[in-house]
């Protein structure tokens, strides 16, 4: 069924591009946020010194990467619920396509746009980051794609539980964006109140931030095996639950 | 004739609501078979069990020799499906949809020719969201036929269409049967069932009430016939009243309404008119329809 997966993925990519608002939301907004932050902070910093403080060289790119990831997941949640409500998922399912192929196609489309957005961000960032700064782009891209794929399993869980397309986007937003606040990016997880700290340890973004930060600053993959395993575990749990509760119609 | 679909005693409940209760029927090769009844009668649930989209709580289904639950992918390769109230991606073009579907099956017919046959040749580059209701349904028929299936399922195909589009779709469905395929459809429109189906199963509140050819069901359950004659000749009313099978005769001005029962009623009345040389200006027979059959069988109208 690889041919079916490829055809569906390519078609969904074309369909996604045909909707300008969707593209602006998932690709444009994170890049714009990054550029604005770059202008606000970057201009001052690079004028003052040639080396960037870690708050800018690490936290800002990781935050922007997280935004890319979260908006890709939100877009997935929205599309899945619209497709379900419109009977599109059901119609696709009444073909020889395997159910997971239908969902995988959407995941691939979102990952592709995640990579494109990251590339655009990198291009935009060249104006604000000194060219001497070394960024392991390939490893960072892989880390972001891995993270996004893992968070998408949470997206499927949300899409399974939210009843209608009208609520999918707002509920997804309410659930996902606060997770960035608990990701350890703004405040170390250890400094959070115990209950929030526990919650942060259960959510995937804490491990995502740790992985992305590490890879960006040149750590090896092995030293983040714990983060990778934690993300895989969260995904396995989400896939396990959503494969039971996912609704096709 | 052999059965391409065999359904035996299936039952499907959603919580405490029993949607389908002990339903059994066969669909023969080469016929248009209709599941008819009001909305919520269990037609769609029954059909989706046969298509392998739902798993019945109990009972057995064999479609083209396959088990729709266990062999769902093998089955879906050989059947064509049009679902009730389904949509496609808003911005998918007609040609893209047909090409995608064609790529999903082991065999497929020429999509461009199929679209031409269905009158969608001009719309190949149009987005799904820009199509009219009738065009959308014709596209769904195209998707149901793209794999050259032996058996085609059509669920409430003409609901929401205007009468003209509806008639055009009926012709297309007859065309599917005439190409040697078997069609299984659901409808709550009794006129549609009467004009299109070779056999129907009347389904109400999850149960099948009777199965047969529309005309046979009418004969079986609604033997009453009504004949309306327009004539100024009042002298022969008594002779007409005496015709075998006539139950009642009423006259309103020049219009005589004769009610009776039996296959022979109409020809007996015609003979009487001719023997007595009654000068008639108009002669109409009013046959009961499937609507009347439904009312007789269930005690309520199909629209209630």
Q: Which two tokens stand for residue B41?
A: 């009668």
Task: Establish if A21 touches chain B: CB-CB under 8 angstroms.
Answer: no
Number of structural domains chain A divides into: 1
Of A3, A91, A96, the CB nearest to B77: A96
pLDDT tens sequence for chain A (249 residues): 688 899 999 999 999 999 888 788 788 888 888 788 777 766 555 544 555 666 667 888 888 889 899 989 999 999 999 999 999 999 999 999 998 999 999 999 999 999 999 998 888 877 766 655 677 889 999 999 999 999 999 999 999 888 888 899 899 999 999 999 899 888 888 888 888 889 998 999 999 999 999 999 889 999 999 999 999 999 999 999 999 999 888
Residue B5, classed as helix, strand or coil, is strand
> What is the arrangement of strands in the sheet containing B182-187, beginning at the earlier edge strand?
B79-82, B151-155, B182-187, B32-36, B199-204, B207-212
CB contact under 8 A, B100 and A11: yes
Tens of pLDDT, residue by residue over B269-303, are 999 999 999 999 999 998 899 999 999 999 888 87
Q: How far is CA B188 from CA A183, B34, B219, B292, in A?
A: 55, 10, 21, 14
ipTM of this predicted structure: 0.86
Judge whether A139 and A218 are in contact, CB under 8 Å.
Answer: no
Residues of A within 8 A of B101 (CB-CB) are 95
pLDDT, residue A23, reads 84
CATH of B223-287, one of 1.10.1040.10, 3.40.630.150, 3.30.360.10, 3.30.70.980: 3.30.70.980
pLDDT, residue A225, reads 96
CB contact under 8 A, A83 and B100: no
CATH of B3-213, one of 1.10.10.10, 3.30.70.2190, 3.40.50.300, 3.40.50.1100: 3.40.50.300
Q: How far is CA B70 from CA A219, A249, B13, B286, B291, in A?
A: 49, 21, 20, 49, 38
Q: Which two tokens stand for residue B30?
A: 């080469």
Continuous H helices in chain A: 2-17, 20-23, 29-37, 43-48, 54, 60-85, 88-93, 99-125, 137-161, 165-181, 194-202, 204-216, 225-245
CB contact under 8 A, A4 and B104: yes
| H or E element in which residue B284 lies | strand B280-286
Judge whether A215 and A140 are in contact, CB under 8 Å.
Answer: yes
pLDDT, residue B85, reads 82
Continuous H helices in B10-93: 43-50, 72-78
CB contact under 8 A, B88 and A7: no
Residue B124: is its pLDDT beyond 70?
Answer: yes
Give the residue range(s) of CATH 3.40.50.300 domains in chain B. Answer: 3-213
Of B53, B96, B143, the CB nearest to A11: B96
Judge whether B152 and B79 are in contact, CB under 8 Å.
Answer: yes
In a 13 Å sphere around the CA of A168, the CA atoms on its Cβ side amount to 25
Pairing relationship of beta strands B3-14 and B58-63 according to DSSP bridges: antiparallel
Judge whether A209 and A184 are in contact, CB under 8 Å.
Answer: yes
Interface with chain B: mutation pick from A91, A97, A106, highest number of B CBs within 10 Å: A91
pLDDT, residue B2, reads 79
> What is the arrangement of strands in the sheet containing B17-28, beginning at the earlier edge strand?
B17-28, B3-14, B58-63
Task: Establish if A17 touches chain B: CB-CB under 8 angstroms.
Answer: no
Give the residue range(s) of CATH 3.30.70.980 domains in chain B. Answer: 223-287
pTM greater than the 0.90 cutoff? no
Tens of pLDDT, residue by residue over B5-34, are 999 999 999 999 999 999 999 999 999 999
Residue A109 lies in domain: 2-245
CB contact under 8 A, A95 and B88: no
How far B260 CA sits from the closest chain A CA (Å)?
49
Of B83, B91, B103, the CB nearest to A7: B103
Chain B residue whose CA is closest to A18: B91
Residue B147: is its pLDDT beyond 80?
Answer: yes
Tens of pLDDT, residue by residue over B215-242, are 999 999 998 889 999 998 888 899 999 9
How far A22 CA sits from the closest chain B CA (Å)?
13
CB contact under 8 A, A15 and B92: yes
Task: Establish if A15 touches chain B: CB-CB under 8 angstroms.
Answer: yes
- Largest Cα separation within chain B, whole Å, is 74
| H or E element in which residue B18 lies | strand B17-28
Average pLDDT, chain B: 93
Rounded CA separation B90/B109 (Å): 25
Chain A residue whose CA is closest to B104: A4
């Amino acid at each position: 069924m690889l041919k079916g997966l490829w055809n569906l993925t390519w078609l969904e990519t074309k369909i996604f591009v045909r909707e300008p608002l969707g593209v602006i939301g998932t690709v444009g907004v994170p890049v714009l946020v990054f550029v604005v932050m770059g202008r606000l902070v970057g201009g001052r910093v690079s004028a003052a010194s040639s080396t960037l403080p870690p708050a800018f060289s690490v936290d800002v790119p990781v935050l922007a990467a997280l935004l890319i990831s979260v908006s890709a997941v939100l877009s997935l949640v929205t599309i899945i619920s619209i497709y379900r409500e419109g009977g599109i998922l059901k119609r696709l399912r009444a073909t020889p396509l395997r159910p997971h192929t239908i969902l995988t196609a959407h995941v691939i489309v979102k990952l592709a746009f995640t990579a494109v957005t990251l590339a655009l961000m990198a291009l935009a960032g060249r104006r604000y980051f000194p060219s001497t700064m070394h960024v392991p782009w390939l490893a960072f891209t892989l880390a972001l794609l891995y993270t996004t794929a893992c968070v998408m399993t949470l997206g499927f869980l949300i899409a399974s539980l939210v009843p209608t397309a009208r609520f999918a986007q707002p509920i997804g937003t309410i659930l996902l964006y606060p997770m960035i606040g608990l990701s350890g990016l703004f405040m170390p997880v250890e400094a959070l109140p115990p209950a929030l700290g526990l919650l942060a340890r259960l959510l995937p973004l804490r491990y995502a931030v740790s992985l992305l930060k590490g890879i960006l600053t040149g750590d090896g993959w092995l030293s983040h095996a714990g983060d990778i395993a934690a993300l895989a575990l969260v995904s396995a749990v989400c896939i396990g639950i959503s494969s039971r509760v996912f609704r096709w119609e | 004739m052999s059965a391409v679909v065999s359904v035996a005693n299936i039952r499907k409940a959603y919580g405490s609501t029993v949607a389908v209760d002990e339903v059994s029927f066969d669909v023969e090769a080469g016929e248009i078979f209709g599941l008819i009844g009001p909305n919520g009668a269990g037609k769609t649930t029954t059909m989706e069990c046969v298509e392998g989209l739902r798993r019945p709580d109990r009972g057995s289904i064999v479609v083209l020799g396959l088990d729709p639950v266990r062999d769902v992918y093998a089955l879906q390769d050989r059947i064509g499906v049009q679902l009730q109230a389904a949509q496609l991606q808003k911005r998918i073009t007609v040609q893209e949809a047909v090409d995608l579907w064609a790529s999903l099956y082991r065999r497929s017919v020429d999509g461009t020719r199929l679209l031409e046959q269905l009158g969608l040749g001009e719309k190949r580059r149009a987005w799904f969201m820009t199509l009219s209701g009738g065009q959308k349904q014709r596209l769904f028929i195209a998707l149901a036929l793209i794999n050259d299936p032996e058996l085609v399922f059509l669920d409430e195909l003409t609901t929401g269409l205007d009468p003209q589009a509806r008639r055009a779709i009926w012709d297309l469905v007859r065309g599917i049967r005439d190409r040697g395929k078997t069609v299984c459809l659901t409808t709550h429109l009794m006129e549609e069932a009467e004009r299109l189906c070779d056999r129907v199963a009347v389904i109400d509140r999850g149960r099948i009430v009777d199965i047969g050819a529309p005309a046979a069901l009418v004969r079986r359950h609604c033997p009453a016939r009504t004949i309306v004659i327009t004539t100024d000749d009042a002298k022969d009313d008594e002779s007409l009243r005496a015709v075998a099978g006539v139950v009642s005769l009423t006259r309103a001005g020049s219009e005589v309404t004769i009610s009776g029962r039996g296959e022979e009623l109409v020809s007996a009345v015609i003979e009487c008119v001719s023997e007595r040389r009654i000068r008639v200006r108009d002669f109409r027979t009013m046959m009961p329809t499937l609507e009347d059959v439904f009312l007789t069988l269930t005690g309520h109208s199909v629209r209630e």
